Chain A
Amino acid sequence: MTLRIALVVLVCMALAVAESVLPFLLHLKVARPDLLLAVVLYLALHDDIVEGAALSAVAGYFSDLSSATPAFLYTFLAVLTFVVLRLGGSALKTEGGVQSAVVAFGASLLHGLIAAAVFGFFTGTGIHFAALPMLWSALGTALLAPAVFSILRRLDLNFLHSDVNAGGMR
């Protein structure tokens, strides 16, 4: 279990690096995929509450580290997004790639709206909903979310197999 947590943290770190480097190399202006949000989405739909919320906070913290925004904004937002998605979890399905993409698109829009509101309100800069960048970012997230889900699913399958081999289930 501890190894699984460590591996998810490592995946978060790798995705934080990827989402900082890829838009730069590909000269992306607005269609920046939020890969760490896809992790939060996966955790909200697959993990237990305590572990999922804690790992979501870690994912948000990595976003904070590479965003140059006031400390812990994205940590807070990641846990909040986890809670909201968790509450709506039974209605959300992410079995196939298309389903994952659609859910990620919606989650990214929701996350973007909350982020703009919280950022604008508490930093005193005013609330601006830049609709087009938000849509593009949601599209980028939706395109890459199935890949992130696939990585995390494989990781979990390995743990499931090792647990079954050891004679128990998680």
Chain B
Amino acid sequence: MGSILKRFREPIFVIALLAIPFFIFFAKAKKGIALSRVDRVLVALMAPIERTLTGAAFGVVDTWHAYLALRGVREENLALRRENLRARTTDQQAAELRLENDRLRHLLDFADKQAPTRLVVARIVAVGASTHSHSLRIARGSEDGIVKGAAVIAPDGIVGTVVQLTGSYADVQLIVSPLSAVPAITQRTRGRSTVKGTGDIGRCKVEYAQRTDDLQDGDMLVTAGGPGFFPQGLRIGRVGNVNRKQSGMFLSAEVVPSVDFARLDEVTVVAAAEAVQQQQQQAADLAPAAAGAVQ
């Protein structure tokens, strides 16, 4: 027995090295992504290096931009003043609309049942290492009140959801990942569908849109909302290549995401207010204990 093991040591070792990860992957492939203790330690070692490197690179770029900015500062100042004026006008109009909306809601006795949320701004420190990963690593984690499944957004639209977490860092799965599915509404027609990732960084696909829906090229899809999903009304992307087959219930179409994932520097994470409050409470509870320990 011993001699057989010794003789076939190499093939046995290689087969074991193939079989063990395969079975773990097979068992966990559809159950979501979770970090083990060893993973957490290694991420805690690697992520600060990634953060330092990106921080240093951005520092150099910012310094260069600051130098360049000085050269055209007067013209830019004027342009910004004009832009500010326009923004203030728009802001006033928005405030009016908000007040009107509040009054109408009150009249309709409409209760906003959505859980209160807090937005946490997070800096991106790295992207997924492989071409199949479609993920970002951000410098915010469970210590900032972020939970698994939290929605991640950018000014142009939705980015993805948090899939794995450590104390200070989180990995965000982009909406273009084949593992992502987002309930959507067509802004123009209010028709419902699901936006699914394709694995291609510049393209998603529309699923479960009724063939009879008036979905057209150029239509904007926004998030449908609902518990456990993105807040309602955020931009997902524009529809293209709408194809209505002669038979079947659903049409097929592509979506070009509103967000250019390669140009993102910062994102906003929608943290549930409960989680934030819990975390603040824990911090408040710990503070006197820590102060006592110091004394």
Interface of B is mostly: mixed
Stretch at the interface among A66-74, A88-96, A99-107, A158-166: A66-74
Partner of A65, one of B13, B46, B125: B46
Complex Cα distance, B28 from A72, in Å, reads 9
Interface size class of B (residues with CB under 8 A): 35 or more
Residues of B within 8 A of A34 (CB): 129-131
Residues of B within 8 A of A98 (CB): none
Residues of A within 8 A of B132 (CB): 67, 69, 112, 115-116, 119
Cβ contact within 8 Å between A17 and B21: no
Q: Across the interface, which residues of B come within 8 angstroms of A144, CB to CB?
A: none
List residues of chain A with CB within 8 A of the CB of B9. Answer: 50
- Considering only CB atoms, which chain A residue lies closest to B19 in the complex? A76
Q: How far is the CB of B258 from chain A (nearest CB, A)?
A: 16
Instruction: Give the tally of cross-chain contacts (CB within 8 A).
Output: 171
Within the assembled complex, what's the spacing in Å between the Cα atoms of A29 and B263? 9
Determine which of A13, A72, A123 lies in contact with B46 in the assembled complex, contact meaning CB atoms within 8 Å.
Answer: A13
The smallest beta-carbon distance between B34 and chain A, in angstroms, is 7
- Interface size class, chain A: 35 or more
Which of B17, B137, B171, B172 contacts A79 (CB under 8 A)?
Answer: B17
Q: Are B130 and A115 neighbours in the complex by a CB distance under 8 Å?
A: yes
Whether B163 lies near A68 (C-beta < 8 A) is yes
- B135 contacts which chain A residues (CB < 8 A)? 67-69
Q: Which residues of A contact B26 (CB under 8 A)?
A: 122
Q: Is A142 an interface residue (CB 8 A)?
A: no
Pick 5 A–B contacts, CB within 8 A, sort by A: A20-B50, A21-B53, A68-B164, A72-B21, A133-B200
Given contacts A21-B53, A25-B54, A36-B129, 15 further A-B contacts (CB under 8 A): A16-B129, A20-B127, A21-B54, A29-B261, A50-B14, A65-B42, A67-B133, A70-B28, A70-B32, A71-B28, A74-B130, A83-B18, A112-B132, A128-B178, A128-B199
